[in-house]
Amino acid sequence: MTDTLGVVIPAYEPDVDALTQYLREIDAQLSPAVIRVEIDSPQADQLSALETTPAEVNAVGRRRGKGGAITEGFDSLGTDILAFADADGSVPASSLADVVDPTRRGETALTIGSRRHPDAEIVDHQTVGRRLLGDAFAAVARQLLPTRCYDYQCGAKALRAAAWSDIRHYCYERGFAWDLELLSVADALGYGIREVPVTWEDHPDTTVDPIPTAVELGGALLAIRSRTGAITPHDRVQSADRPSTLTNDGN
């Protein structure tokens, strides 16, 4: 029996035309059992437009943060595989499928997309300032965290529901640092992580403000390091049969 797939799209002030097209492409490329848009503080016209898509929509009248929205979305799914992608569609549906496939095939518990992988295809770069900030943060994270990735924050990840059930009990971040904590906790619990290159097309109209986000991530990085460092060998024993390896996959 084929494992079922659920995809969560966290959204805040999205470009609704681009999002509706992206949802249709995800549906066509990945054939998920469910696509769920977690949208914060939506406008009536946004909700009306999303009604024409293959996605179910959970609208919340406040801003939960990226991590809060994904967490609620993942918790609502009843599928075997959980995935998320950013609402701006920077990772096209065909590339999102490449991220999902290793987990869907049972090769690894967690797969992450990477814009900074040597084999990634960058169709449209971020601005120089945003790119430098992102590169600097990734370098610092590699020094401070035991989990060493090319790219921690790429908006495309997939994991098995059983792994999420274990991981979420150790996750506290509600904002953009959610990705960092997800990977750090997964590694600390002994889950295998595979990093795959993606096709990336930057969208400069994103609602993410780079300077405050960098400050938020910097503060969260130290907290995540401390919390994951407190995960004990007893916690890890529960996941001992799951290989603790990070694979940077160029295929």
Assign residue 91 the CATH number of its domain.
3.90.550.10
- Give me the pLDDT at residue 209, please: 65
pLDDT at 133 over 80: no
- Give me the pLDDT at residue 244, please: 41
Give the residue, 135 or 52, on which the prediction is more confident. Answer: 52
Q: Tell me: the pLDDT tens digits for 99-111? A: 999 999 999 999 9
Report the domain count for the chain.
1
For 173, the 3-state DSSP assignment is coil
Tell whether 187 is covered by a domain.
yes
Confidence (pTM): 0.89
Tell whether 249 is covered by a domain.
no
Contact 29, 89 (CB under 8 A): no
Q: Which of 109, 187, 179, 189 is nearest to 151 (CA)?
A: 179
Tell whether 48 is covered by a domain.
yes
pLDDT at 149 over 70: yes
Contact 115, 151 (CB under 8 A): yes
Tell whether 10 is covered by a domain.
yes
- Give me the pLDDT at residue 250, please: 52
Contact 39, 23 (CB under 8 A): no
Mean pLDDT for all residues in the chain: 89
- Give me the pLDDT at residue 241, please: 41
Tell whether 251 is covered by a domain.
no
Q: Tell me: the pLDDT tens digits for 189-233? A: 999 899 999 999 877 655 566 667 777 777 889 999 999 989 977
The whole domain housing 11 covers: 5-244
Tell whether 250 is covered by a domain.
no
CA–CA dist 173, 157 (Å, integer): 16
Tell whether 226 is covered by a domain.
yes
Tell whether 201 is covered by a domain.
yes
CA–CA dist 85, 157 (Å, integer): 7
Report percent pLDDT > 90 for the chain.
Answer: 70
HEC per residue, the chain: CCCCEEEEEEEECCCHHHHHHHHHHHHHHHCCCEEEEEEECCCHHHHHHHCCCCCEEEEECCCCCHHHHHHHHHHHCCCCEEEEECCCCCCCHHHHHHHHHHHHCCCCCEEEEECCCCCCEEEECCCHHHHHHHHHHHHHHHHHCCCCCCCCCCCEEEEEHHHHHHHHHHCCCCCCCHHHHHHHHHHHCCCCEEEEECEEECCCCCCCCHHHHHHHHHHHHHHHHHHHHCCCHHHHHCCCCCCCCEEECCC
Q: Taking residues 10-38, report their average pLDDT.
A: 97
Instruction: Pull the structure tokens for residue 31.
Output: 């054939």
Residue given tokens 């809060």 in the structure block: 68
pLDDT at 148 over 70: yes
- Give me the pLDDT at residue 232, please: 78
- Give me the pLDDT at residue 9, please: 98
